[in-house]
Structure 1
Amino acid sequence: MEWKPHITVATVVEDNGRFLMVEEYSGERAVLNQPAGHLDPNETLIEAAIRETLEETGYDVELTGVIGIYLYTAPSNGVTYQRVCFAGKAVKHHPEYTLDTGIIGPQWLTRDELIAQRQRWRSELSLQCIDDYLSGQLFDLTLIRPSV
């Protein structure tokens, strides 16, 4: 088997102590995740994060920084993901936007509300990214360099 990591992006969007989460289906089960997804061909990481957030939540976001870069191997399937997680702020909601297949919809949850639903997390990375965001250490977006 050829090992091939998957490049993904995610966003942490906070508004008055609530975080924008996505309720989505993973198989037959409804789970919670951050707006997140795979990098598409000919797309920058920043473009991917903005696109994925809109496609999964109906929100336009303005990215404000880089929270971190994470390497995660999913115990469910053994796939390794490299996640670049961004901080952002919600700019505009498009309630009429048709969300991606498998997405139930956006939810605004506090950290405590998210912890209370631990059994519904798609990945442990969700809380890790939120906690790293709450630590206050953000990296400038210029950390992300487009290809030349």
Structure 2
Amino acid sequence: MSYRSGQFWQPDVTVATVVERDGLLLMVEERVAGNAVFNQPAGHLEPDESIVQAAIRETLEETGWQVEPQAFIGAYQWAAPESGRHYLRMAFAAAPVAHVPERGLDEGIIAAHWLSPDAIQALSERHRSPLVWRTVRDYLDGRRHPLSILQSL
């Protein structure tokens, strides 16, 4: 059991989805601490949902796109230097299924954008975290694992 500042320590478990259409990747522009930043559709795992279900839900909530996860890209551990919070990100590759434009986007989301990998890299100063480009790079390098490696018991 690990403790931090006398409290039980637990990392934030998050999901992120790389969605590709015609060579462009679906990205979210969102406001965080007063700054407009870019991220994949991403968010926290909620109680009683699988990691795959969380990825589908977060993508819809943040972009209005229904997606079908195709592969697991990887798990990423990162500690945010400014807050000290630790994150465990589970990243997926997914195919776009349908856009639901009438669905409102989550609070804090400015817009969803389809961007080229070069445009995403050029925005690196505005990435929400270093996990953004690392996940894109791994996706572009072909890192794919079958969804069956993830078990929800």
- Residue 52 (structure 1) aligned to one of 53, 58, 82: 58
Q: Who is 1:15 aligned against?
A: 21
User: Which runs of 4 or more aligned residues in structure 1 lie more than 6 Å from their structure 2 counterparts after TM superposition?
Assistant: none
- Residue 36 (structure 2) aligned to one of 23, 30, 45: 30
- Residue 78 (structure 1) aligned to one of 74, 84, 106: 84
Q: TM-score, normalised by structure 1?
A: 0.96
Percent of aligned pairs with the same amino acid: 48
1:45-93, CA deviations, whole angstroms, 9 ceiling, x for partnerless residues? 0100000000000000000000001101112211000010000011100
AA of the residue aligned to 2:45 = L
Greater C-alpha Rg? 2
Once the two structures are TM-superposed, the CA of residue 137 in structure 1 deviates from its matched residue by: 2.5
Q: Distance in 2 between matches of 1:89 and 1:97?
A: 19
Q: Distance in 1 between matches of 2:82 and 2:27?
A: 21
Which deviates the most, 47-56 or 123-132? Answer: 123-132
Q: How many residues align?
A: 147
Question: Please, which runs of 5 or more residues in structure 1 have no aligned partner?
Answer: none
SS across alignment from 1:119? helix
AA of the residue aligned to 1:98 = G
Q: Who is 1:141 aligned against?
A: 147
- Residue 124 (structure 2) aligned to one of 118, 123, 140: 118
Q: Distance in 2 between matches of 1:135 and 1:114?
A: 15
Q: CA RMSD in A?
A: 0.9
